[in-house]
A and B are shown apart, each in its own frame.
Chain A
Amino acid sequence: MTAIFSVLIGLLSISLEQGLSYGIMALGVYITFKVLDFPDLTVEGSFPLGASVTAVLVAGGFNPFLALFVSMLAGMAAGGITGILNTKGHITGLLAGILTMTALYSINLRIMGRSNISLLNIDTVLTSVENLGVPHGVVAITTFAIAVVIIKLLLDALLKTRLGFSLRATGNNANMARALGVNTDAMKVFGLALSNGLVALSGGLVAQYQGFADVGMGIGTIVAGLASVIIGEMIMGERNIGYATMSALVGSFIYRLSIAIALRLGFAATDLKLLTTILVIIALTTPQIRKIIKVSSTS
């Protein structure tokens, strides 16, 4: 009985840690996928970009908090490039993202100088928080929860400003936005930069959490992000902005929990991307589920 209990606690806590740290990435995907209505694949490259930048800086003795900030700026630049390719270069959104993502693979290797960097026994944001007296077992959850709450509230606030309204109008009806004076090209670039900034920040955080950065760690980011956003929307709906960003985070937790359970049940880790993809395909194509998404989004 206590054995089952401790397994459950273990599952929940690892899912919370991952759900929160990858949740920041899910918020980024929420911005492009839901707010901007832009299927952005840049995230596959900006997630490891954030990890690479953080790993190189932290391994070189840089302040781990500042390293995350620099990662975020790098991610914003990557997203901005996709936005410029799309708006000024008139390349479709999907292809623009693929181009940036592919270029980032080389860039990430350049940044790290090899395919992975270990951060074991190096001071990270987690060790800093632990040094403040937070018990070892809850350091990750505490750190990530604080980060996620701050980011979520800031994002909610941003989406309620005039800038946020312009961003949302651009994604919702670009024709209307332009007719009312919004520079929709600029809003797309801004939204992509913001999104990929968050994704890179998440990548940096995950690198510090798992103790390494790897050039291949971005594979499947978009599907994981989409899965989180879709699961969250199915469960919670998106009554308003605060609710919608919350649902992406809840979706992220449930997604990570499902993966932890699947692993526990004996699925091979390497099969999980296939399972996730199937899950997303079902969610995107099943009329019933689409109806739930639709109904909950209008109620």
Chain B
Amino acid sequence: MLELKNVSKAFNKGTVNENVVFSDLNFTLNEGDFVSVIGSNGAGKSTLLNLIAGVFSVDGGQLLLDGNDITKLPEHKRARFIGRVFQDPMMGTAPSMTIEENMAVAYARSDHYSLRWGINPQTRDMFRERLSYLGLALEDRLSTKVELLSGGQRQAMTLLIATMSNPRLLLLDEHTAALDPATVRLINDLTERIINEQHITTLMVTHNLEHAIKMGNRLIMMDRGSIVLDIKDDEKRSLTIEQLLDMFEQAAHEKFSDDRVILQ
């Protein structure tokens, strides 16, 4: 459903600081895939997600979503079918707006500029029902400003908002990395629950190898702009952390090094 063809991307092109992140990346995501993405620091995981989301444009190559060429589509237009959650819980919500106002911005996904009321009694009921899904009692705090919520609550809201209008694709960039262990569990459960119920094709970057192995049906490992491992289904189900590290060593001809990696 998503195809990256011969994608290349460099930062600071033409300067002494030129940094080629991808030179010829090919990658296909199948309908219903839930892919965990691991890899050393600077491998290009975030850049990959940003290229798909349209935050940066590619230097060369093509992006196809459901067969349509989205290479030139600006970020805000891709948002119609791509939901995103970021590492920083502050990035996914508008702090000075209330919980229901944040939800309304997400709900308006393809009608952002009309003079209809942002919130009406029907949408409010719907927001309340959706929020109750989180189990955080946020449905009783619709007019609370989001800046008063904890990082975990904000991240749960971001996840809800990002998936509110059934996106075709969900991009999660280390979305639990800034949270405490109990909250990580909560957000991971929520992530799996939403993805399974809505059957959303997902790319999830994580530094936690255990999560990467346990969650999803497919695992890719990136190193210096290439996908060095791509493990699916049955093979992935029986995978252990030791095997994964061995496989990386063989593929990349070096030890897996990631100072932030979490083994269990």
Stretch of B26-34, B98-106, B209-217 that contacts chain A? B98-106
A177 touches B (CB below 8 Å) = yes
Pick the 5 closest A-B CB pairs, nearest first. A181-B79, A172-B94, A165-B118, A173-B94, A166-B112
Provide the main secondary structure of the chain A interface: helix
Question: Chain A interface residue count: which class?
Answer: 20 to 34
- Choice from B76, B109, B148 contacting A184 with Cβ under 8 Å: B76
Q: How many B residues have CB within 8 A of the partner chain? A: 40
Q: Number of residue pairs across A and B with beta carbons under 8 Å?
A: 98
CA distance A169 to B162 in the complex (A): 15
- Choice from B77, B114, B145 contacting A181 with Cβ under 8 Å: B77
Interface residues of B in 36-60 (CB under 8 A from A): 53
B137 touches A (CB below 8 Å) = no
Could you tell me the distance in whole angstroms from the C-beta of A162 to the nearest C-beta in chain B? Answer: 5
Do the beta carbons of B112 and A181 come within 8 Å of each other? yes
Could you tell me the distance in whole angstroms from the C-beta of A243 to the nearest C-beta in chain B? Answer: 13
Interface residues of A in 163-180 (CB under 8 A from B): 163-166, 168-169, 172-173, 175-180
List the B side residues contacting A297 at CB < 8 Å. 96
List the B side residues contacting A175 at CB < 8 Å. 86, 91
CA distance A162 to B105 in the complex (A): 7
List the B side residues contacting A161 at CB < 8 Å. 114-118
- Choice from A163, A172, A178, A184 contacting B97 with Cβ under 8 Å: A172
- Choice from B90, B91, B101 contacting A165 with Cβ under 8 Å: B101
A140-165 Cβ-contact flags toward B at 8 Å (1 or 0): 00000000000000000010111111
Do the beta carbons of A179 and B84 come within 8 Å of each other? yes
User: Please, which residue of chain A has its CB at the minimum distance from the CB of B93?
Assistant: A176
Known: A168-B94, A181-B109, A298-B145. A162 touches B118 (CB 8 A): yes
A278-299 Cβ-contact flags toward B at 8 Å (1 or 0): 0000000000000000000110
Could you tell me the distance in whole angstroms from the C-beta of A21 to the nearest C-beta in chain B? Answer: 28
B111 touches A (CB below 8 Å) = yes
Do the beta carbons of B95 and A173 come within 8 Å of each other? yes
User: Please, which residue of chain A has its CB at the minimum distance from the CB of B83?
Assistant: A179
CA distance A234 to B167 in the complex (A): 42
Could you tell me the distance in whole angstroms from the C-beta of B95 to the nearest C-beta in chain A? Answer: 6
List the B side residues contacting A176 at CB < 8 Å. 91-94, 102, 105
Could you tell me the distance in whole angstroms from the C-beta of A36 to the nearest C-beta in chain B? Answer: 12
User: Please, which residue of chain A has its CB at the minimum distance from the CB of B55?
Assistant: A178
A183 touches B (CB below 8 Å) = yes
User: Please, which residue of chain A has its CB at the minimum distance from the CB of B106?
Assistant: A180
Do the beta carbons of B79 and A178 come within 8 Å of each other? yes
A111 touches B (CB below 8 Å) = no
Could you tell me the distance in whole angstroms from the C-beta of B90 to the nearest C-beta in chain A? Answer: 8
Selected A-B contacts with CB under 8 Å, 7 pairs: A162-B112, A169-B94, A169-B105, A176-B93, A179-B92, A180-B109, A186-B113
Do the beta carbons of B148 and A166 come within 8 Å of each other? no
Do the beta carbons of B97 and A168 come within 8 Å of each other? yes
CA distance A179 to B115 in the complex (A): 21
List the A side residues contacting B79 at CB < 8 Å. 178-181
B161 touches A (CB below 8 Å) = yes
Do the beta carbons of B94 and A163 come within 8 Å of each other? no
B110 touches A (CB below 8 Å) = yes
Could you tell me the distance in whole angstroms from the C-beta of A175 to the nearest C-beta in chain B? Answer: 5
CA distance A173 to B105 in the complex (A): 12
